[in-house]
Amino acid sequence: MHVYSQSACIKCTAPLLFSSHFMRTPMASTARLILSHAVVLLLLLLCAAKPATSGGWVPANPNSYTVRDLVQRALEIYDVSPYNNHQSLLFFLKGLVAVRQQRAPEIWWRIAFEANYLYIFHGGRWEKVLVDATVVLANSRDMYPRIFWKPFIPLRGQV
């Protein structure tokens, strides 16, 4: 017969959580079962995740590292301002800071970049414009807007 204190098996002088006696209790079996199921579920989720390497829709929070990484690789963000509904912006920058602003019925993001300029393809040529801008990301009605991006390598003379 073993006598247990609050933190250790007195006979074995082992911590209670690591004691072989503790692992035989129903509570420990349930904990191990839950832990093993959690590990299996995590592995399944990791295997099902598809990296965004060939371009496409990426659900993302603009404050996250994922978006910062995508911006470094060149983002295509669609500006839905009244001025031009089809204007696309290509960013070649080192990072961004985005703050969520709610304006009914859309979610707008105030984008501030670390670099001083961004390049925009307009009228068949690249134009260098000031960075300070407010843009709406694609599907901005969602809580986490989706960003359409694709790999982009500028040709000589474009940037």
- CA Rg, the chain, in Å? 26
Mean pLDDT of 35-50: 64
Q: How far is CA 132 from CA 3, 43, 115, 127, in A?
A: 69, 42, 10, 15
Structure tokens at 26: 């129903």
The reported pTM is 0.20
Which residue is it, tokens 């099902």? 48
Domain layout of the chain by residue ranges: 8-48, 58-149
Read off the pLDDT of each residue in 32-39 and give the average, rounded to a whole number.
Answer: 72
Q: What is the pLDDT of residue 35?
A: 72
Number of Cβ atoms within 10 Å of the Cβ of 157: 7
> Is the per-residue pLDDT at 36 higher than 70?
yes
Q: Are 71 and 93 in contact (CB under 8 A)?
A: yes
